[in-house]
Structure 1
C-alpha cells in the first residue's frame, strides 16, 4: 500500500470503507486490514487516528448514531404534514435502507465493541435505541397535534415499529423490501393509534 498518499479526510474515508465492507460482506469480514485496503491507504493510517480497531469501530457507530439525530430533527419537523404512516414509512426506509442494519449486526457480533459503547451510551442496542427515540419524539409531536390518539402508548408503539422495520430489512442478501411492504407493516402497527386521513 502506498504510504505517501495524502488523505483529505482520513476518518471519513475509513468509515466509508468500513460501511462498504459491512454492506457487502458483513461484520465477519471487517478487520483493520480489510478497512485500510478498501480505503486504499496504509494500515498505519487507521492507527494514527484511532487507539485501536475497537476504538475505530466505536467511533464509526457513534458517527452513524449522530446521523440519526439529523434524521430525527427532519422527521419531527414533518409532524402535521403528509400522513403519519407515510412519514413513518419514509423514516424506516431511510434508517434501515442505509448501513443501520449492518451496524446493528456489527454491535451484536463484537462483544468488546458493545462493552465499549455501553460506557458512554444509554442502555439498549446502539442505533436501535436512538431510532426508537426518534420515532417516539415524532409520534409525541403527532399526538400533540391530534393526529395520534391521546391514549396511545408511544413507549410501546415506537419500539414495535423499529422491531418490525428491522425485520423487514434484516436480510442483507435479499433485495430491500418495496415501499408498499414497509407501508403495509407501518399501517398494521399504528392502525389502532391513527385513523382517518392522517393514517
Structure 2
C-alpha cells in the first residue's frame, strides 16, 4: 500500500470504497483492510480519521442517512404530481438500488455498530427508520392534497412500504426487481387508500 501519499477527501474515498465492497461482496466482506485496499491507501489512513473500525462504520451509516434529506426533499416536491404509486416506486428504487441494502445488513450484523448508532437512531434500524419517516411525510403531504384517504393509517402504511421495498431489493444474487414489480407492490400496498 502506498504511504505518504496525500489523499484528497480521504473520508469520502474510504466511504466510497466501503460502499463498493458492500454492493459487490456484502457486509461480511467489509473489513478495515478491505476498505483501505479498495481505496488504494495504507491502513493507517483509516485509523488516522477514525477511532476504530466501528467508528468508521458508524460515520459511514450516519453520512448515508444524512443523504436521505436530498431524496426526501425531492419526494415531498413530487407530492401532487404524477401518481402516488409511481412516486413511491421511484423513491423506493432510488433508495434500495443504492448501498442501502448493504448498510441494513451491516447494521443488523454488528452489535457494536448498532450500539454506536443508538444515540441518533434510538429505535429501529438506521436508514430504514429514516426512510420510513421520509415515506410517511410524503404520504401525509399526499393526504393533505386529497390523494390519500383521510383515514389512512400512515403509521402502518409507511413501514409496510419500506419493508416491502427492502425485501424486493434484498436478494443480491438475482439482481434488483424490475420497475413493474416495484410499482405493482406499491400499488397493492396502497389499495384502499388512494383517492
Hey, what's the Cα distance between the residues in 2 that align with 1:99 and 1:116?
A: 20
Offset at 1:5?
A: 1.6
Hey, what's the Cα distance between the residues in 1 that align with 2:170 and 2:28?
A: 16
Offset at 1:174?
A: 1.0
The aligned residue for residue 18 of structure 1 is 18
Hey, what's the Cα distance between the residues in 1 that align with 2:191 and 2:20?
A: 37
Q: Does residue 1:148 correspond to 2:148, yes or no?
A: yes
Q: Tell me the alpha carbon deviations over residues 84-108 of structure 1, each in whole angstroms, 9 at most, x when there is no partner.
A: 0000000000000100010000000
How high is the TM-score relative to the length of structure 2? 0.98
The aligned residue for residue 60 of structure 1 is 60
Q: Tell me the alpha carbon deviations over residues 113-159 of structure 1, each in whole angstroms, 9 at most, x when there is no partner.
A: 01110133231110000000000000000000001010100000000
CA RMSD of aligned residues (A): 0.7
Superposition pairs of residues 39-188 of structure 1, within 5 angstroms: 39-188=39-188
Hey, what's the Cα distance between the residues in 1 that align with 2:117 and 2:19?
A: 18
Hey, what's the Cα distance between the residues in 2 that align with 1:82 and 1:33?
A: 46
Unpaired segments of 5 or more residues in structure 2?
A: none
Q: Does residue 1:4 correspond to 2:34, yes or no?
A: no
Q: Which runs of 4+ in 1 moved over 6 A?
A: none
> Could you tell which deviates more after superposition, 182-191 or 20-29?
20-29
Hey, what's the Cα distance between the residues in 1 that align with 2:139 and 2:188?
A: 15
Give SS of 1:147's match.
coil
Give SS of 1:193's match.
coil
Hey, what's the Cα distance between the residues in 2 that align with 1:20 and 1:158?
A: 29
Unpaired segments of 5 or more residues in structure 1?
A: none
Hey, what's the Cα distance between the residues in 2 that align with 1:109 and 1:64?
A: 18
Hey, what's the Cα distance between the residues in 2 that align with 1:84 and 1:111?
A: 37
Give SS of 1:187's match.
helix
How high is the TM-score relative to the length of structure 1? 0.96
